[in-house]
């Protein structure tokens, strides 16, 4: 029988040769995390005509979106109102106010029942002036461009939506009397007289008049403009410049970590396309992932991995409770599990640095799947070790582990290879920028690592622990086969 256990140090060294550079890369580069963890914008746009992914990336490049992921998709044919020829873009000669927008919407709805009308303000491009773009969708049947043009042939004039209306008001306070004068005269007879005039005089009996004039007057006036006038009349003619009908159901999907609201990102994209003679666009959907949501996702992802590891340890401990030191089996399974996690993280650190592959919430899903698959293979090997410990009572622990590995290797490899071939096909034939590509790539790397660690790491660590080769103690084979036989008999008795 081929002795695999004899080469246990080489297998562990090979794992370290992969893990150590990965950990270093993870420390230096980190993961290229997507908007699920950092926050950002997600937009789905529908062009008026077909556009290649290369052209879309070229048109979006001047916007300098941060960490953009640009892919193409399709609305499909399940909803007839989403057909390409049931969406039209109507370009007006100028920017219109709310009154004109209401008139256009009412006119189209009366003519085409069920139509959905929206308006976009496009700033001046290529030296032109700003204008309003009308997007009409969900026509019950494909409309004729000539009919739409005839329907909108007579549009009301518009005011200037960008003009500011000035309002003034004036308020004057009444002016009080210019002066108030009080005069008092007192003669020898003690009579007192009070008069109001322009001076105040006080006369005493000594005949020496004393005059005192006191003036208490402060005229005040406050003026506030109050007059209101109309300075923005509706005298700008409105007409239809161009009507373009859709020809495709293809979409452009954009993910970016640019810290802007989705509406702001969209407001920059449409003018950019038109400035470069690109097609008209329709905003199908937009979502915004805030920083708080992203931090919650990061924390929950970490807790999910920790919780999975703890429950796996407890489950293996309970399942192998009738074997001596069952916690060793659980600990070795967790070490093999961490091996797989570190391999995946290390590889994606380099992929993110040199190939701009991002990590999103699907990455966590794939990582948890890898953990489950790895533990499944490990338990298969450990369960065979437990059975052989009862049957092979005259062999050393190392011999029992080696026999168990040889017996289960074919099953483990066959199970893993069927999964790996499927994942390889999905990874090769899916687009490099699609979500499914990153998901299948994570599974491909993780399950390959998990198959290796289940066979060549977890069981080898058990033997090294038994021999005390890990530096944390253990029973050595020199204690004799008799001790092993006693352990096996005890196991058989408890069963």
Q: Which CATH architecture has domain 5-34+293-494?
A: Up-down Bundle (1.20)
- Looking only at the bridges linking them, the beta strands covering 240-245 and 226-228 are unpaired
pLDDT in tens, 409-447: 988 888 899 999 999 999 988 766 566 888 999 999 999
Average pLDDT over residues 281-295: 77
Residue 96 pLDDT? 95
pLDDT in tens, 153-186: 999 999 998 875 444 444 444 444 443 333 343 4
User: Any idea which fold 80-160+234-289 has?
Assistant: Alpha-Beta Plaits (3.30.70)
Average pLDDT over residues 130-147: 93
Q: What rounded mean pLDDT belongs to the chain?
A: 79
* pTM, rounded to two decimals: 0.63
Percent of the chain with pLDDT over 90: 39
Query: Which three-class secondary structure state does DSSP give residue 86?
Result: helix
Average pLDDT over residues 131-146: 93
Residue 222 pLDDT? 42
Burial class (CB in 10 A: 0-12, 13-18, 19+), 111: middle
pLDDT of 328 over the 60 cut: yes
Higher-pLDDT residue of 474, 354:
354
Burial class (CB in 10 A: 0-12, 13-18, 19+), 132: buried
> Could you tell me the residue ranges of all domains in the chain?
5-34+293-494, 80-160+234-289
Q: Tell me the CA distances in angstroms from 37 to 34, 287, 290, one per residue in order.
A: 6, 14, 9
Contacts of 236 (CB under 8 A, 6+ apart): 94, 157, 158, 159, 160
pLDDT in tens, 245-268: 999 989 998 888 776 565 577 888
Say which residue the tokens 């999907």 belong to. Answer: 253
Residue 335 pLDDT? 92
Rounded (10°) angle between helices 361-391 and 291-319: 10
**Alpha-carbon gap, residue 212 to 190, rounded angstroms:** 19
Residue 443 pLDDT? 95
- 104, 153 Cβ separation under 8 angstroms: no
pLDDT in tens, 42-81: 888 999 999 998 999 999 999 888 878 888 888 876 566 7
Q: How confident is the model at residue 371 (pLDDT cuts 50, 70, 90)?
A: confident
**Alpha-carbon gap, residue 464 to 401, rounded angstroms:** 11
Q: How confident is the model at residue 188 (pLDDT cuts 50, 70, 90)?
A: very low
Percent of the chain with pLDDT over 70: 77
pLDDT of 487 over the 70 cut: no
Kindly report the CA angle at 112 between 106 and 118, in degrees rounded to 5?
55
Range name among 71-80, 131-140, 146-155 with the lowest pLDDT average: 71-80
pLDDT of 280 over the 80 cut: yes
Residue 359 pLDDT? 85
Q: Report helix, strand and coil shares of the chain as percent, to nearest 5.
A: 50, 15, 30
Residue 261 pLDDT? 62
- 440, 427 Cβ separation under 8 angstroms: yes
Residue 145 pLDDT? 94
- 265, 20 Cβ separation under 8 angstroms: no
Residue 342 pLDDT? 94
* Partners of residue 41 on adjacent β-strands: 256, 288
Q: Tell me the CA distances in angstroms from 270 to 64, 113, 452, one per residue in order.
A: 15, 27, 50
pLDDT in tens, 298-323: 788 788 878 887 888 888 888 888 88
Closest CA to 319 of 367, 378, 262: 378
Token reading at 381: 């090997």
Q: How confident is the model at residue 493 (pLDDT cuts 50, 70, 90)?
A: low
Residue 142 pLDDT? 92
pLDDT of 217 over the 70 cut: no
pLDDT of 195 over the 60 cut: no
Burial class (CB in 10 A: 0-12, 13-18, 19+), 36: buried
Residue 39 pLDDT? 77
């Amino acid at each position: 029988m081929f002795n695999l256990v004899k080469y246990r140090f080489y297998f562990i060294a090979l794992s370290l040769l992969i893990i150590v550079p990965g950990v270093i890369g993870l420390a230096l580069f980190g993961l290229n995390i997507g908007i699920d963890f950092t926050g950002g914008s997600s937009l789905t746009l529908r062009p008026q005509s077909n556009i290649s992914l290369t052209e879309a990336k070229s048109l979006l490049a001047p916007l300098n979106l941060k960490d953009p992921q640009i892919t193409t998709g399709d609305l499909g044919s399940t909803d007839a109102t989403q057909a390409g020829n049931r969406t039209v873009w109507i370009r007006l000669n100028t920017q219109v106010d709310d009154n004109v927008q209401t008139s256009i919407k009412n006119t189209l709805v009366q003519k085409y029942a069920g139509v959905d009308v929206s308006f976009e303000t496009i700033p001046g491009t290529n030296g032109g002036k700003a204008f309003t773009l009308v997007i009409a969708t969900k026509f019950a049947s494909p409309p004729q461009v000539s009919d739409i043009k005839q329907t909108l042939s007579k549009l009301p004039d518009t005011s200037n939506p960008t003009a500011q209306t000035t309002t003034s008001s004036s308020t004057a306070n009444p002016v009080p009397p210019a002066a108030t004068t009080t005069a008092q005269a007192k003669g020898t007879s003690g009579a007192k007289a009070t008069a109001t005039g322009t001076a105040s005089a006080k006369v005493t009996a000594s005949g020496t008049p004393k005059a005192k004039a006191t003036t208490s007057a402060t005229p005040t006036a406050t003026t506030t403009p109050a007059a209101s006038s109309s300075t923005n009349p509706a005298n700008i003619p409105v007409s239809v410049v161009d009507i373009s009908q859709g020809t495709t159901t293809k979409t452009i999907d954009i993910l970016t970590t640019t810290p802007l609201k989705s509406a702001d990102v969209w407001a920059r994209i449409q003018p950019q396309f038109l400035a470069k003679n690109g097609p008209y666009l329709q905003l199908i959907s937009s979502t915004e992932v805030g920083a708080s949501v992203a931090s919650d996702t990061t924390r929950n992802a970490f807790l999910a991995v920790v919780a999975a590891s703890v429950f796996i340890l407890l489950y293996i401990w309970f399942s192998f409770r009738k074997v001596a030191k069952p916690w060793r089996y659980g600990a070795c399974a967790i070490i093999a599990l961490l091996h797989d996690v570190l391999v995946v993280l290390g590889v994606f650190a380099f992929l993110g640095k040199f190939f701009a592959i991002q990590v999103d919430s699907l990455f966590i899903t794939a990582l948890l799947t890898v953990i489950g698959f790895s533990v499944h293979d490990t338990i298969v090997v450990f369960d065979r070790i437990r059975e052989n410990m009862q049957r092979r009572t005259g062999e050393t622990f190392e011999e029992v582990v080696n026999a168990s590995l040889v017996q289960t290797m074919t099953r483990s490899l066959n199970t893993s290879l069927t999964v790996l071939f499927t994942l390889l096909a999905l990874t090769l034939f899916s687009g490099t920028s699609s979500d499914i590509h990153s998901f299948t790539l994570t599974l491909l790397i993780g399950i390959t690592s998990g198959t290796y660690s289940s066979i060549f790491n977890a069981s080898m660590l058990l033997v090294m622990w038994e021999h005390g080769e890990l530096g944390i103690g253990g029973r050595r084979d020199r204690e004799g086969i008799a001790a092993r036989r006693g352990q096996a008999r005890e196991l058989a008795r408890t069963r």
